[in-house]
Amino acid sequence: MTLFLSRLRLDRGADLEALRPLLDPGTHHPGAMDPHERGRRTDAHHRLIWTAFADHPDRRRDFLWRHEGAGAFTVLSAREPMASRLFEPPEVRPFSPVLEPGDHLAFALRANATRDRAGSGKGRRSDVVMHALRAVPAGLRDQARMDAAQTAGQDWLESQGARAGFRLLTATVGTYSVAALPGHVGRRKSQPQYGILDLTGVIEMTEPRAFLSRLALGFGRARAFGCGLMLIRRA
């Protein structure tokens, strides 16, 4: 399986400067973003990345992406990105790692980690961290947030590995944030939200073919909004 790993960066020409707040919202104050602003940014980025892959109106998404900050994106795709007026010339290289059982890989993963809601029927999911925090008294949730993210995120990734051909050796949650789903009509307070975990660590290959197949598809949900892409390197 040959994929393409690309580095895309917003064109830094002066003629696009007036559009930058629309193309890359919140660039100058990412730490201060609330869920609504974060959702607006991921929606803008989702539309922006499509400009490098939408060669046909009926094209289905066959790429994963993550925002690296300052208008830069890493993309894993089944096709090479097209030239886009909005981006500098892309840096593209084939991605077809040769892996063997027992190989150790360092990883970085931004994921929307979810689990089935008990008794809710097929297709109903809940964020693993939000689910864990339900057991914590409301007044203590802010303090417990990162501990819950670490435990729930690690457990979720271990379960992913059992199905995707790897064994989790170490995992650390660097950040956990919440974004609002775009397209909601109505009061902002009731807008659906999803959680975003940034995880790093080391995995061991158990079934390389299964792992590469899953890697191409992405891990977790919200893959259209910058989640699911696992970056790997030899550990």
Q: Are 155 and 168 in contact (CB under 8 A)?
A: no
Task: Please give the pLDDT value at position 122.
Answer: 54
pTM, rounded to two decimals: 0.89
189-209 exposure pattern, b = at least 16 Cβ within 10 A, e = fewer: eebeebbbbbbebebebbbbe
How far is the C-alpha of 49 from the C-alpha of 73, rounded, in Å? 8
Domains of the chain (ranges, CATH numbers): 3-95 (3.30.70.1200), 104-234 (3.30.70.1210)
Task: Please give the pLDDT value at position 172.
Answer: 97
How far is the C-alpha of 77 from the C-alpha of 80, rounded, in Å? 7
Q: Can you tell me whether residue 209 is helix, strand or coil?
A: helix
pLDDT digits (tens, 9 = 90+) for 123-167: 567 899 988 888 888 888 888 889 999 999 999 999 999 999 999
The DSSP annotation for 44-98 comes to HHHHHHHTTT-SSTTPPP-EEEEEEETTEEEEEESSPPPP-TTBPPPEEEEE---
Mean pLDDT computed over 115-121: 62
Helix axes 141-164, 208-217, angle to 10 degrees: 130
pLDDT digits (tens, 9 = 90+) for 169-220: 999 999 999 998 876 655 666 678 899 999 999 999 999 999 999 999 999 9
Alpha helices in 114-228 (DSSP H): 128-133, 141-164, 208-217
| Model confidence at 28: pLDDT above 90 | no
Instruction: Name the amino acid, one letter, at 106.
Output: A
CA dist 128 → 19, 98, 205, 230 (Å): 36, 32, 25, 18
